[in-house]
């Protein structure tokens, strides 16, 4: 473990596990500390060349197409896209079914940061240790590589990283007499209610509370922002009072009217739509929204009135925490074209490609050098406006059973948000259920 320039600690995958994921992965975003990563064992071997297929979520298709065309032209083999569900959990279910059946249809998988342990522990994705060498790994933010290490082997290559950000409308805040973003959830609630009244807005604060992976992320974020957690030192702590406080804050946003009841159905699209449609003062979302700001088809709001801040805390003076995300490239262990698959992964994750994703879509790069690139720093408002917003990024708990944990959390967080279960009961049930999963080795 080492300290980076910000003085915040970076960490290895094992420490993520020990700490239940509460370490600061996002601190690596702008730091140059070197740790995490892996040497790991030899790759499963086996080469093979030919046309390859990449699976991705629908939101990335438009930007990905020209990149695959460029790859195909340069490589000689053609790379095609297989579009998967937008919902991270539904995508995982789909890919898991295929991999479990031993399918070799898909060669490269663009997959979520929470997947490596699940896919690798089943032997479905290739050990890339022999191909993704230590010196290659050094070009990446350490935490993004560490997130792809399973059992000492590196099983994925970082694509882009994600951080939870509070977005707000400066024009609406000013109109209601506010000059700064809220620091606590209580302030946010009060401000959202006043702004909603003053500007006759449909919604105060919108966020992704639906029953899916994004809802799990938000529930964990409320819990961690209240000082609670899911796992601590390998033990489930979600039943503790701090965690209950976090879920109570989420429910309070809805009962107070600061957030619409519909947040219990909102995923990224609905959330972004409400905010960019001018129907909300605040939004919790990922940096990709920056890529939509200048697009007149997406929004008529003046981009100059949109600002970002850190996720509020439960208590005044507390440290802001967000639960981040990100996407990686994995190789199907059953691919018959592993050499071409690897060439595609290398191509899609090189500096030029990551720069294009950053400039075209505001996807945060995972390669260190790009944070020194003036063009990126200039164009990426998230880097310019509020670096701190992405500093306190934490990861979901690391476990081969994370999918089961996440499913249960999504269900119970959503029930608590809807008021069909109390936050205390939701937390108590999760304490029991997650403990049972951990006991069976998760």
* Residues within the interface to ligand GLC (CB under 6 A): 88, 112-113, 162, 213-214, 217, 268, 286, 325-327
Nearer to ligand GLC, 113 or 274 (CB): 113
Nearer to ligand GLC, 275 or 286 (CB): 286
Measure Cα distances from 31 to 4, 34, 64, 136, 140 in Å: 5, 9, 28, 17, 11
Residue with tokens 């390669």: 367
Nearer to ligand GLC, 268 or 373 (CB): 268
Nearer to ligand GLC, 40 or 209 (CB): 209
Nearer to ligand GLC, 88 or 349 (CB): 88
Q: How far is the CB of 217 from ligand GLC (least distance, A)?
A: 5
Q: How far is the CB of 326 from ligand GLC (least distance, A)?
A: 5
Nearer to ligand GLC, 110 or 244 (CB): 110
Q: How far is the CB of 48 from ligand GLC (least distance, A)?
A: 30
Q: How far is the CB of 75 from ligand GLC (least distance, A)?
A: 27
Q: How far is the CB of 267 from ligand GLC (least distance, A)?
A: 7
Q: How far is the CB of 213 from ligand GLC (least distance, A)?
A: 4
Q: How far is the CB of 199 from ligand GLC (least distance, A)?
A: 28
- Please identify the residue of the shown chain whose CB is closest to the bound ligand GLC: 325
Q: How far is the CB of 60 from ligand GLC (least distance, A)?
A: 10
Nearer to ligand GLC, 113 or 403 (CB): 113
Query: In angstroms, rounded to a whole number, what is the distance separating the alpha carbons of residues 128 and 155?
Result: 5
Nearer to ligand GLC, 52 or 308 (CB): 308
Per-residue 3-state assignment (H helix, E strand, C coil) for the chain: CCECCCCCECCCHHHHHHCCCCCCHHHHHCCCCCCCCCCCCCCCCCCCCCCEEEEECHHHHHHHHHHHHHHHHHHCCCEEEEECCCCHHHHHHHHHHHHHCCCCCCCEEEEECCCHHHHHHCCCECCCCCCCCHHHHCCECHHHHHCCEECCEECCEEEEEECCEEEEEHHHHHHCCCCCCCCEHHHHHHHHHHHHHHCCCCEEEECCCCCCHHHHHHHHHHHHHCCCCCEECCEECCCCHHHHHHHHHHHHHHHCCCCCHHHHHCCHHHHHHHHHCCCEEEEEECHHHHHHCCCCCCCCCCHHHEEEECCCECCCCCCCCEECEEEEEEEECCCCCHHHHHHHHHHHCCHHHHHHHHHHHCCEECEHHHHHCHHHHHHCHHHHHCHHHHCCEECCCCCCCHHHHHHHHHHHHHHHHHCCCCHHHHHHHHHHHHHHHHHCCC
Note the Cα 34 to chain centre separation in Å.
22
Q: How far is the CB of 200 from ligand GLC (least distance, A)?
A: 30
Nearer to ligand GLC, 259 or 334 (CB): 259
Nearer to ligand GLC, 86 or 377 (CB): 86
Nearer to ligand GLC, 165 or 280 (CB): 165
Query: In angstroms, rounded to a whole number, what is the distance separating the alpha carbons of residues 317 and 304?
Result: 28
Q: How far is the CB of 288 from ligand GLC (least distance, A)?
A: 8
Q: How far is the CB of 162 from ligand GLC (least distance, A)?
A: 4
> Rounded to the nearest 5 degrees, what angle is found at the Cα of 59, between the Cα atoms of 212 and 204?
60
- Taking Cα atoms as reference points, which of 280, 256, 244 lies closest to residue 186? 256
């Amino acid at each position: 473990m080492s300290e980076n320039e910000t003085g915040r600690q970076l960490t290895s995958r094992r420490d993520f596990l020990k700490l239940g994921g509460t370490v600061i992965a996002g601190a690596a975003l702008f730091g140059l500390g070197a740790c995490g990563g892996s040497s790991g064992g030899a790759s499963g071997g086996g080469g093979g060349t030919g046309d390859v297929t990449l699976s991705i979520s629908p939101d990335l298709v438009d930007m990905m197409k020209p990149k695959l065309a460029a790859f195909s032209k340069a490589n000689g083999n053609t790379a095609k896209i297989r579009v998967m569900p937008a919902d991270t959990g539904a995508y995982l279910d789909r890919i898991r079914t295929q991999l479990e059946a031993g399918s070799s249809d898909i060669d490269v998988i663009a997959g979520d940061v929470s997947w490596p342990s699940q896919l690798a522990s089943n032997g479905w994705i290739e050990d890339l240790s022999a191909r993704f060498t230590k010196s290659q790994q050094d070009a990446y933010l350490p935490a993004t590589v560490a997130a792809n290490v399973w059992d000492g082997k590196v099983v994925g290559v970082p694509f882009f990283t994600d951080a939870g950000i509070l977005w707000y409308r400066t024009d609406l805040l000013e109109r209601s007499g506010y000059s700064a973003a809220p620091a606590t959830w209580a302030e946010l609630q009060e401000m959202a209610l006043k702004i909603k009244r003053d500007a006759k807005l449909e919604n105060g604060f919108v966020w992704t509370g639906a029953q899916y992976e994004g809802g799990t992320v938000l529930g964990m974020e409320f819990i961690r922002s209240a000082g609670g957690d899911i796992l601590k030192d390998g033990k489930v702590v979600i039943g503790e009072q701090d965690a209950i406080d976090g879920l109570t804050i989420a429910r309070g946003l809805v009962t107070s009217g600061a957030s619409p009841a519909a947040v219990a159905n909102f995923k990224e699209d609905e959330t972004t739509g409400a905010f960019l449609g001018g129907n909300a003062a605040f939004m919790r979302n990922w940096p990709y929204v920056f890529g939509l700001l200048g697009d007149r088809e997406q929004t008529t709001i003046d981009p100059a009135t949109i600002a970002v801040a850190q996720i509020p805390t439960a208590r005044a003076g507390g440290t802001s925490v967000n639960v981040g995300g990100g996407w990686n490239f994995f190789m199907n262990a059953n691919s018959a074209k592993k050499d071409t698959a690897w060439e595609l992964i290398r191509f899609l994750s090189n500096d030029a490609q990551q720069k294009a994703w950053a400039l075209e879509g505001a996807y945060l790069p995972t390669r260190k050098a790009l944070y020194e690139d003036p063009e990126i720093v200039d164009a990426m408002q998230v880097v310019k406006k509020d670096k701190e917003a992405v500093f306190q990024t934490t990861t979901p708990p690391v476990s081969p059973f994370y999918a089961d944990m996440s499913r249960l959390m999504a269900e119970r967080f959503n029930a608590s948000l809807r008021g069909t279960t109390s936050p205390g009961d939701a937390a108590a049930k999760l304490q029991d259920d997650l403990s049972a999963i951990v006991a069976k080795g998760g």
